[in-house]
C-alpha cells in the first residue's frame, strides 16, 4: 500500500507531471556561469536556469533549464502561423509547453494543459500583475517585479517559466513598443 507523500518533500509535491503549487520566485544567483537564476518555491529550489534575454530566447539557442528531478529543458522560440513564439523543449526536442500571442492575452499550452495569461489593465505601461487562468478559473497570479508566481491550484512548471518569459519579453509583433516585428509570410 502506498502512503501519501509528505508536504515537505519537494520531489513528491512536483510529481511526474512537473506541477507547482504555492509561492515561487525567480532569483538571480550568478552572473556568467550556469546557473544564473533559480526558481525557488516554499520548499526549495525547483529549477536552475541559464542566462535569460530576448536575443538568447528568440534568435539563439535558448535558455538552459535543469529541474530538480534531473529533467533538462530549453526555452527557445519557434514560428507559429508566421509569428515567432517562445516554447520549452526537452532534450529530445519534444514540446513541453508553447506560448502564442492574442489580442491582449497570451496562450500557454502543453500536452496535458492549457492556460491563458491575462494582464492587469494599465493604459500606458506594462502591467505589474498578471493572472493565469485555466478555462474560467484563476489558478495563479504572476508578478512582474520581482518575478514571482502564486498558484492556488497545481500549475505546470513549463507554464510558470513561459509566464515569466511572456511578461518580461512578450511575443515579437504583439504591438508592444520597443520590440522588433518579425513576419515570415
The 10s digit of each residue's pLDDT in 74-101 is 999 988 777 788 999 999 989 999 998 7
Q: Alpha-carbon distance 170 to 9, whole Å?
A: 34
Domain with 112 in it: 20-169
> Which three three-digit cell numbers place residue 67?
529541474
pLDDT at 109: 92
Assigned domain for 182 exists:
no
Place of cell 536575443: 55
Assigned domain for 10 exists:
no
pTM: 0.80
Cis status, amide bond into 80, omega within 30 of 0: no
Assigned domain for 56 exists:
yes
The number of domains in the chain is 1
Assigned domain for 155 exists:
yes
**Between 11 and 71, the higher pLDDT residue:** 71
Assigned domain for 3 exists:
no
Q: Alpha-carbon distance 38 to 128, whole Å?
A: 21
pLDDT at 15 over 70: no
Count other Cβ atoms within 10 Å, centred on residue 2.
Answer: 4
Place of cell 512548471: 157
Assigned domain for 137 exists:
yes
**Between 9 and 45, the higher pLDDT residue:** 45
The distance of Cα 138 from the centroid of its chain, to the nearest Å, equals 16
Helices (H), the chain: 10-14, 54-59, 157-169
Assigned domain for 1 exists:
no
Assigned domain for 138 exists:
yes
Q: Alpha-carbon distance 1 to 170, whole Å?
A: 47
pLDDT bucket at 104, cuts 50 / 70 / 90: low
Go through 47-76 and write b for each residue having 16 or more CB atoms within 10 A of its CB, e for each that does not.
bbbbebebebbbeeebbbbbbbeebebbbb
Amino acid at each position: 500500500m502506498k502512503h501519501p507523500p509528505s508536504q515537505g518533500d519537494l520531489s513528491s509535491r512536483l510529481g511526474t507531471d512537473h506541477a507547482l503549487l504555492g509561492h515561487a520566485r525567480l532569483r538571480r544567483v550568478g552572473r556568467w556561469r550556469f546557473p544564473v537564476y533559480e526558481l525557488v518555491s516554499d520548499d526549495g529550489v525547483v529549477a536552475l536556469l541559464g542566462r535569460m534575454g530576448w536575443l538568447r530566447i528568440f534568435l539563439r539557442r535558448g535558455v538552459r533549464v535543469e529541474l530538480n528531478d534531473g529533467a533538462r529543458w530549453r526555452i527557445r522560440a519557434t514560428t507559429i502561423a508566421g509569428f515567432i513564439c517562445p516554447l520549452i523543449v526537452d532534450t529530445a526536442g519534444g514540446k513541453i509547453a508553447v506560448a502564442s500571442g492574442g489580442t491582449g492575452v497570451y496562450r500557454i499550452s502543453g500536452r496535458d494543459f492549457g492556460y491563458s495569461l491575462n494582464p492587469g489593465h494599465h493604459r500606458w505601461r506594462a502591467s505589474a500583475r498578471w493572472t493565469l487562468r485555466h478555462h474560467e478559473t484563476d489558478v495563479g497570479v504572476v508578478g512582474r517585479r520581482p518575478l514571482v508566481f502564486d498558484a492556488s491550484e497545481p500549475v505546470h512548471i513549463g507554464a510558470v517559466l513561459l509566464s515569466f518569459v511572456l511578461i518580461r519579453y512578450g511575443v515579437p509583433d504583439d504591438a508592444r513598443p520597443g520590440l522588433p516585428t518579425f513576419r515570415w509570410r
